[in-house]
Amino acid sequence: MASPFPSPGTARKASQQRITIRRIRRPELPVDTVALSRFLIGKVVVHDLPAGRVSGRIVETEAYPPGDPAGHHFRGPTPRIRSMYLAPGHAYVFFNYGAHFMLNVVSERPETAAAILIRALEPLEGIEIMQRHRKTTELLDLTRGPGRLAKALQIDRRHDGVDLCAEEKLWLGAIDHPVGRIGKSVRIGITRAADKLLRFFERSNPFVSGPRRLLQPSPKQPKRRRAA
Percent of the chain exceeding pLDDT 90 equals 68
Q: How far apart are CA 175 and CA 63, in angstroms?
A: 22
Instruction: Average the pLDDT over 191-201 and give the result.
Output: 90
Identify the structural domains of the chain with CATH numbers, from first to last.
8-202 (3.10.300.10)
Instruction: Average the pLDDT over 116-121 and give the result.
Output: 98
Instruction: Average the pLDDT over 63-73 and give the result.
Output: 84
Q: How far is CA 194 from CA 132, 154, 198, 215, 226, in A?
A: 35, 30, 9, 11, 26
How does residue 221 score in pLDDT terms, banded at 50, 70 and 90? Answer: very low
What is the per-residue DSSP string for the chain? ---SS-SHHHHHHHHTS----EEPPGGGS-SSHHHHHHHTTT-EEEEEETTEEEEEEEEEEEEE-TT-TTSTTTT---GGGGGGGS-TTBEEEEEETTTEEEEEEE-SSTTS--EEEEEEEEEEE-HHHHHHHHT---GGGSSBSHHHHHHHTT--GGGTT-BTTSS-SEEEEE-SS---PEEEEPPSS--TTTT---EEEETT-TT-SS-SSPPPPPPPPPPPPPP-
Average confidence score pLDDT of the chain: 86
How does residue 79 score in pLDDT terms, banded at 50, 70 and 90? Answer: confident
Q: What are the b/e assignments for 134-165, b being 16+ CB within 10 Å?
A: beeeebeebbbbbbbbbbbbbbeeebbebbbb
Q: How far apart are CA 112 and CA 115, in angstroms?
A: 10
**Which of 89-103, 131-145, 164-178 is the least confident region?**
89-103
Q: What confidence tens digit (pLDDT) does each residue in 1-25 have?
A: 344 444 454 455 555 567 899 999 9
Residue 123, pLDDT > 70, answer yes
Closest C-alpha among 163, 182, 154, 166 to residue 58: 182
How does residue 160 score in pLDDT terms, banded at 50, 70 and 90? Answer: very high
Residue 220, pLDDT > 90, answer no
Most confident listed range (13-27, 156-170, 204-218): 156-170
- The pLDDT score that the predictor gives to residue 37 is 98
Q: What confidence tens digit (pLDDT) does each residue in 90-109 have?
A: 999 999 876 799 999 999 99
